[in-house]
Chain A
Amino acid sequence: MSAAAANSVFKALADPTRRAIFERLTRDGELTVHALTARAGVSQPAVSKHLTVLKRARLVSDRRAGREMHYSAQPKSLAPLVDWMAFYGVFWRDRFSRLEDVLERMEP
């Protein structure tokens, strides 16, 4: 990820309303602007504007179906920001302890 791209991700998520929209899409899957507006607490044009910023940061993608655009989260765009080494440290420690259980249960 380039510094510019990272910057646009940060800028996009620095705004609490955009963060809420992104988290909602991550949680609920694909949604229309209408569905998003119903709970965002801001007007539909404002939601659309936020979606444009999220799209530019590649955090959200859109798809036209009928008359409405459907938006979904692209959490992959966050991957470069994640502390993967720390994540996998925890992951493998957990797996090692499960492996030990499996070894205990196995035939000698």
Chain B
Amino acid sequence: MNEHGSEGSSERRSVVVEKEFAHPPDKVWRALTEGDLIAQWLMENDFRLEVGRRFQLRSQPVPGWDGVIDCVVLVAEPYERLSYSWGTMGMENRVAWTLTPTAGGTLLRMEQSGFREDQEANYKGAMYGWRKFIGQLERVVEEIR
């Protein structure tokens, strides 16, 4: 799996994760767009494949975070491209999925973009209380299984 953008140059403002799956694009597409399947690997949701459709991704709330991500479907090109907005914690990002058929299956690329400079940790490595808070988010992530 390749990962770019989450480290290195401060010019980059997106997180990219890419991976090839040994499954055809139509199957990967279903996992990305059917609510009960999305719930199995991402979060509980009321997703519907329809451009302009608002939906929520929901995880367990923690103090100070309601566990909700507000989304709108922006692009839906079957078996090729899917994108939605991603709003939570007062931040607005965009998540874009690209499916490319390969000899062995599908290359899946996820790009989460729209990180503003002031949303990044310009104050990285701070020894303050937010570490605990992030720890909670990670624990929530763990608990969704």
Contacts and interface: CB of A to CB of B under 8 A. Distances in A.
B6 A86 contact: yes
A75 B115 contact: no
A99 B21 CA distance: 9
A93 to B, nearest CB: 6
Interface of B: 1, 3, 5-7, 15, 17, 19, 21, 23, 27-28, 30-31, 37, 40-42, 63-65, 89-91, 108, 110, 112, 115, 118-124, 126, 128-130, 132-134, 136-138, 141, 145
Q: Which of A25, A72, A75, A87 has the most CB of B within 10 A?
A: A75
B115 A84 contact: yes
A75 B132 CA distance: 10
A100 B133 CA distance: 29
A10 B130 CA distance: 11
Interface string A59-90: 00000000000001111101111111111111
Contacts of B37: 102, 106
23 contacts: A6-B122, A13-B128, A19-B128, A19-B129, A28-B63, A29-B63, A73-B64, A74-B64, A76-B89, A81-B123, A84-B115, A86-B7, A89-B17, A90-B138, A91-B141, A92-B110, A96-B19, A96-B110, A99-B42, A99-B108, A106-B27, A106-B30, A106-B31
Contact of A79 (B63, B119, B136, B138): B119
Given A26-B129, A84-B121, A106-B31, 18 more contacts: A72-B63, A75-B130, A78-B129, A78-B130, A80-B118, A81-B126, A81-B128, A82-B134, A83-B124, A85-B120, A88-B6, A89-B3, A89-B5, A92-B15, A92-B110, A94-B141, A96-B17, A103-B23
A6 B117 CA distance: 14
Main secondary structure of the interface of A (DSSP, over half): helix
Contacts of B64: 26, 73-76
Contacts of B5: 85, 89
